[in-house]
Amino acid sequence: MGARRCAPAHCGMAGLSAYRLHSDTVEGWVCNMEPETSRVVCIGGAAVDRKYRALATVRPGTSNPVTSERSFGGVARNVAENIARLGTRVSLVSIVGADDNGLALVSDLERLGIDTRHVTLSDAHATAEYVAVLQPDGELAVGLANMAIFDEITPALLRGIRPELGSAWIFADCNLPSETLHDLIGLARRQAFMLAFDAVSTPKVMRLPRDLTGVGMFFLNLDEARTYLDRPEVSPQAAAEALLARGAEQVVLTLGDKGLVAADSFGIATIAAFKAEIVDATGAGDALIAATLVAMLKDASLVEAATLGTVAATLTVESPVSVRPDLSLALLEATSSLRADQIFKRELS
Predicted confidence (pLDDT) per residue in 116-129, tens digit: 999 999 999 999 99
Q: How much is the pTM?
A: 0.84
Parallel, antiparallel or unpaired: strands 128-134 and 47-54: parallel
For 68-93, give the DSSP string: EEEEEE-HHHHHHHHHHHTT-EEEEE
Residue 338, pLDDT score? 78
Of 167, 197, 169, 163, whose CA–CA distance to 181 is shortest?
A: 197
Q: How far, in whole angstroms, is CA 320 from its chain's centroid?
A: 18
State the pLDDT at residue 277. 82
The CATH fold assigned to 9-346 is: UDP-N-acetylmuramoyl-L-alanine:D-glutamate ligase (3.40.1190)
Distance CA 348, CA 216 (A): 23
pLDDT tens string 152-200: 999 999 988 888 777 789 999 999 999 999 999 999 999 989 999 999 9
pLDDT digits (tens, 9 = 90+) for 286-307: 999 999 999 999 999 999 999 9
Residues 6+ apart with CB under 8 A from 187: 162, 165, 193
Burial 255-265 (b: 16+ CB within 10 A, else e): beeebbbbbbe
The answer to whether the beta carbons of residues 90 and 41 sit under 8 Å apart is yes
Q: Outline where DSSP puts E strands in the chain.
A: 19-20, 39-43, 47-54, 66-73, 89-97, 115-122, 128-134, 140-146, 169-173, 195-198, 217-221, 251-254, 260-264, 267-271, 344-346
